[in-house]
């Protein structure tokens, strides 16, 4: 089963457009896991187990692991996901973008070392920097388009032939790069008007949508702007709001994550129809 098929099945199976981000911040871990050699694995797998029936995808952010020298723990988490929840897509959030020969190595890292179903990439260096990822036609290539951060406008709103650059990227991916039907786009929830414009350009192409939760994106506006006619088409990502939902004392961190994930999934679903 390729990435797009697996994602479509997960939307239906779990009745969910929620993507749970895995961004381990040791300073926010529960006390009993701080300082533990396998603390990241234990934390992330507990979150996965608590939310697996509520999510359409999981998205580990590689920087949070690499900064700690914890790539081996990321490998273990990815292996756990693949073996325990093989029906849920695993997206490696890496935002890679480099020349072809180097991009091939990054693709191997994502798809062979970590076994990801999809990886995020930057289009800034053009088609030959993205082409190597297409050598794995069953995997997803999720291209940055209109990002959720405020500084994204510095470049993404530049005029390109009478249209902003992010719209040019959307058309380029939809019309030229998506030859194998494996592409998706990153479009932030913080800009619902631009999200709607991208949806109009790319049709039913999946959109990875960060920016709700801790970043403050409006769920109703996001869903209404980005949903397809069938009420799907989106992976709406939330990380910190779910991972660190538990107060310092009281509710168990995994139970708190499940509560917030369910609330978020259900809020998203209110606006899908």
Residue whose pair of structure tokens reads 């580990």 in the numeric block: 60
Low-confidence ranges of the chain (pLDDT < 50): none
Which residues are part of the catalytic machinery? 95
The pLDDT value given to residue 248: 58
Rounded to whole angstroms, how far apart are CA atoms 222 and 172?
23
Query: What are the tokens at 62?
Result: 């590689």
Q: Which residues of 83-93 are buried (b: 16+ CB within 10 A; e: fewer)?
A: eebeebbbbbb
Residue whose pair of structure tokens reads 């709103």 in the numeric block: 157
The pLDDT value given to residue 205: 98
Rounded to whole angstroms, how far apart are CA atoms 81 and 165?
36
Q: Tell me, rounded to whole angstroms, the distance of Cα 184 from its chain centroid.
A: 10
CATH superfamily of 3-270: Aldolase class I (3.20.20.70)
β-pairing, 18-22 vs 207-209, is unpaired
- pTM listed for this prediction: 0.96
The pLDDT value given to residue 247: 77
The pLDDT value given to residue 152: 93
Q: What is the DSSP letter of 141?
A: E
Helices (H), 122-206: 127-130, 153-156, 165-172, 192-202
Q: Which long-range contacts (CB under 8 A, 24 or more apart) does 9-12 make?
A: 9/87, 10/55, 10/56, 10/57, 10/87, 10/88, 10/89, 11/56, 11/232
């Amino acid at each position: 089963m390729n990435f797009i098929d697996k994602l479509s099945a997960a939307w239906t199976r779990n009745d969910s457009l929620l993507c749970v981000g895995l961004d381990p911040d040791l300073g926010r871990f529960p006390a009993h896991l701080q300082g533990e050699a396998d603390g990241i694995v234990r934390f992330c797998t507990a979150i996965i187990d608590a939310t697996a029936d509520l999510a359409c995808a999981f998205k580990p952010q590689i920087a949070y692991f690499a900064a700690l020298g914890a790539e081996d723990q990321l490998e273990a988490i990815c292996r756990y996901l693949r073996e325990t929840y093989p029906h849920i897509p695993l997206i490696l959030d890496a935002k890679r973008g480099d020349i072809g020969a180097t991009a091939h190595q990054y693709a191997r890292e994502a798809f062979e070392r970590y076994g990801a179903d999809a990886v995020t990439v930057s289009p800034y260096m053009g088609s030959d920097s993205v082409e190597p990822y297409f050598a794995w036609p069953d995997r997803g290539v999720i291209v940055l388009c209109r990002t959720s951060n405020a500084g994204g406008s510095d470049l993404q709103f530049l005029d390109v032939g009478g249209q902003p650059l992010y719209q040019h990227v959307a058309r380029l991916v939809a019309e030229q790069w998506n030859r194998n039907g494996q592409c998706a786009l990153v479009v932030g929830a913080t800009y619902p008007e631009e999200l709607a414009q991208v949806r109009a350009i790319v049709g039913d192409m999946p959109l990875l949508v960060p920016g709700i939760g801790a970043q403050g994106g409006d769920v109703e506006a996001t869903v209404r702007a980005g949903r397809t006619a069938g009420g799907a088409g989106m992976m709406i990502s939330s990380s910190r709001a779910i991972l660190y939902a538990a107060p310092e004392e009281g509710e168990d961190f995994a139970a708190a994550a499940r509560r917030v994930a369910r609330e978020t999934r259900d809020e998203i679903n209110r606006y899908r129809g």
